[in-house]
């Protein structure tokens, strides 16, 4: 099976712009989660979707949003970018719902905000 695919791998944006990141989960996986990784804060949970419904959201401002499509693919959007949004954004998929299934991560999208 193909793994979790994230596009693009790298992005450079300017403050105030908006960005959309894409994630294709492993075939058959219906749950998709997003995490932000920074040197200072480490790995932080953004949100999680299952069957197109957001089931949980982390402590991030409303500028961070996401959605999941009927084919389980997911996108996350960050509007009005700030310098502090520079990070590695990781998407993960899992087979089932609940906190039982291991997460399978993609390689991430490295976002740099200048």
Partner 1 sequence: AQKVTQAQTEISVVEKEDVTLDCVYETRDTTYYLFWYKQPPSGELVFLIRRNSFDEQNEISGRYSWNFQKSTSSFNFTITASQVVDSAVYFCALSEAPQGGSEKLVFGKGTKLTVNP
Q: Binding mask 56-85 vs partner 1 (x if CB under 8 A, - otherwise)?
A: x-x---------------------------
H runs (alpha helix) in the chain: none
Q: Does 45 bind partner 1 (CB under 8 A)?
A: yes
36 near partner 1, rule: CB under 8 A = no
Task: Write the CA distances from 107 to 41, 61, 96, 100, integer angstroms.
Answer: 19, 24, 21, 22
**In this chain, which of 24, 33, 36, 72 binds partner 1, going by CB under 8 A?**
33
Instruction: Report whether the peptide linkage leading into residue 109 is cis, meaning its omega lies within 30 degrees of zero.
Output: no
- In this structure, is the dihedral angle defined by the CA atoms of residues 100, 46, 3 and 52, taken in order, positive or negative? positive
**Residue ranges in contact with partner 1 by CB under 8 A:** 3, 31, 33, 35, 42-45, 48, 50, 55-56, 58, 88, 90, 92, 94, 97-108, 110
């Amino acid at each position: 099976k193909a793994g979790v695919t994230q596009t693009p791998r790298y992005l450079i944006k300017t403050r105030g712009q908006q960005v959309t990141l894409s994630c294709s989960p492993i075939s058959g996986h219906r749950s998709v989660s997003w995490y932000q990784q920074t040197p200072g804060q480490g790995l932080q949970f953004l949100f999680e979707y299952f069957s197109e419904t957001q089931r949980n959201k982390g402590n991030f401002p409303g500028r961070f949003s996401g959605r999941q499509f009927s084919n389980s693919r997911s996108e996350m959007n960050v509007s009005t970018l700030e310098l502090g949004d520079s990070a590695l954004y990781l998407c993960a998929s899992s087979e089932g719902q609940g906190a039982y299934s291991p997460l399978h991560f993609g390689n991430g999208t490295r976002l740099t905000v200048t």
